Amino acid sequence: MYEERLDEPLSGEELELFVQYLHRFANHDVDVSVRMEAGYPEHPVYVLFGRDCPPVGDAADYRRPFSDRRQVTSKSDIDDGG
């Protein structure tokens, strides 16, 4: 797949799709770790996806994109009939 718009930022919709794909990739394709190089060859970005090492710095510094949009579907309780 060749992307001709590498010099443009992702649209909001593209960013949401990217994050969805990233979650699927992390859940299904990352066994222990995956190391990648992305971006322009002259200015590469090195990416490590891993389950086998702790995060660099404090884990609280890492944010989960769009997590504020997650909706609780049910808060049933034994006493509320739900």
pLDDT tens for the 82 residues of the chain, in order? 466 777 889 999 999 999 999 999 999 998 888 899 998 899 999 998 888 777 778 878 888 887 776 554 445 444 545 4
What is the predicted pLDDT for the residue at 77?
Answer: 47
pTM of the model: 0.63
Which residues neighbour 25 within 8 Å (Cβ) at sequence distance 6 or greater?
A: 49
- Tell me how many degrees the CA angle 47-28-62 measures, rounded to the nearest 5: 45
What is the predicted pLDDT for the residue at 68?
Answer: 73
